[in-house]
Amino acid sequence: MTITGYYNFICMVSPEFGNLRKQIKDAVAFLKDNNNSKQLSILAKYPGVEGLDLDFGVNRKDCDKFPVKWYNFPPDLLRLAGNLGIGLEITFYPC
């Protein structure tokens, strides 16, 4: 997994694009590894940065069969991200 900064969010780049469960597992591992890291705090306070978000990419291939779909985040991810002041977002890519 590679972490790259774009404007004011952290993009979770994973070879598992579209596999939300794997991306969440990778994000939890990343946040646990960096929970005490000052780098995320420095990044959050960098001039011009309004906030940090973890972005998960989801490729919807079943829009015609299931027009509505929901996803949830496990409490572990929510707690780790929240403690670091990091928001969560999902980017849906077209069918």
DSSP string, 2-46: EEEEETTEEEEE-TTTT-HHHHHHHHHHHHHHTTT-HHHHHHHHS
What percent of the chain is modeled with pLDDT above 90?
Answer: 8
Give the least confident one: 15-19, 31-35, 57-61, 74-78: 15-19
- Look at strands 2-6 and 52-59 and give their pairing: unpaired
pLDDT recorded at residue 77: 94
Which has the higher per-residue pLDDT, 39 or 77? 77
Distance CA 91, CA 94 (A): 10
* Bridge partners (DSSP) listed for residue 13: 2
Question: Among residues 40, 50, 23, which one has the least CA distance to residue 83?
Answer: 40
pLDDT recorded at residue 65: 73
Question: Among residues 5, 61, 56, which one has the least CA distance to residue 26?
Answer: 56
Which has the higher per-residue pLDDT, 60 or 87? 87
Tell me the pTM. Answer: 0.72
